[in-house]
């Protein structure tokens, strides 16, 4: 067990070391693919707007959580335009420090900046209408991802949603030694979601991304 614990510790610490060296820019957040940001945001907005609104079964556009927020690219372009208040959580303090000037005037509608790895983060129960988790589940072990999703479910308000948007591999688990992450195939992601006690209410593939990158899927869960 010692080796597993040691491997897990280095899996997380190596990722933290990697992100500490990444410039706090949109291009840095997207691994050099800053040009896809608008396509990404537009796809996310179309997906999310299927659920938002007032009335029976609709998700209220009141409070969102941006997980693995970085400098707040998604908060700025997607969540703050749609929600009254947004909280950001990221493991890198420098990114959160940069988020305040990057978000500009809209930063006044940010409730909290949490500096924490998602494996340790405990969102407040019953606080959020949407918990947005993008390009970060690969930095969690299976066990920690399931535990985190369970905590997210408890953190939802009535009709709330957890949304995962991430790369999916064609088969199995593909490790990335550069940023100390993994990419899972869709069946594995679905199985982990099920293990957390959540169900997939809608799923789409993000279209119009460059051919050379992984497929990206969006899953709405509750």
| Binding-site annotation, residues | 68, 73, 90-92, 118-119, 134
CB distance 86 to 65 below 8 Å: yes
Six-digit token pair at 20?
């500490």
CA 191, 193, 196, 200 torsion: positive or negative?
negative
Distance CA 138, CA 4 (A): 17
Angle 60-61-65 from CA coordinates, rounded to 5°: 105
Distance CA 48, CA 71 (A): 21
Distance CA 33, CA 202 (A): 27
Bin 57: left if φ > 0, else alpha if -120 < ψ < 50, else beta. Answer: left
Q: Which of 177, 178, 165 is nearest to 214 (CA)?
A: 165
Distance CA 103, CA 73 (A): 8
38 burial level (CB within 10 Å; 0-12, 13-18, 19+): exposed
Six-digit token pair at 155?
């953190």
Annotated binding-site residues for S-adenosyl-L-methionine read 68, 73, 90-92, 118-119, 134
């Amino acid at each position: 067990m010692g080796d597993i614990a040691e491997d897990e510790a280095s899996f997380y610490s190596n990722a933290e070391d990697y992100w500490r060296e990444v410039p706090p820019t949109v291009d840095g957040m997207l691994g050099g693919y800053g040009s896809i940001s608008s396509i990404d945001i537009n796809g996310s907005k179309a997906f999310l707007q299927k659920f938002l609104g007032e009335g029976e079964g609709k998700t209220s556009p009141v409070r969102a959580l941006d997980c693995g927020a970085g400098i707040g690219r998604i908060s700025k372009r997607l969540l703050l335009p749609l929600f009254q208040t947004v909280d950001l959580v990221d493991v890198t303090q420098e990114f959160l420090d940069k988020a305040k000037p990057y978000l500009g005037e809209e930063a006044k509608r940010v409730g909290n900046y949490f500096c924490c790895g998602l494996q340790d983060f405990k969102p407040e129960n019953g606080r959020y209408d949407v918990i947005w988790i993008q390009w970060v589940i690969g930095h969690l072990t299976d066990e920690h991802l399931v535990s985190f999703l369970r905590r997210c479910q408890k953190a939802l308000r009535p009709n709330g949603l957890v949304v995962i948007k991430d790369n999916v591999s064609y088969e199995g688990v593909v490790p990335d030694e550069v940023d100390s992450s993994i990419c899972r195939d869709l069946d594995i992601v679905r199985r982990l979601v099920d293990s957390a006690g959540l169900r997939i209410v809608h799923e789409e593939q993000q279209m119009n991304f460059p051919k050379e990158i992984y497929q990206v899927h969006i899953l709405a869960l509750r």
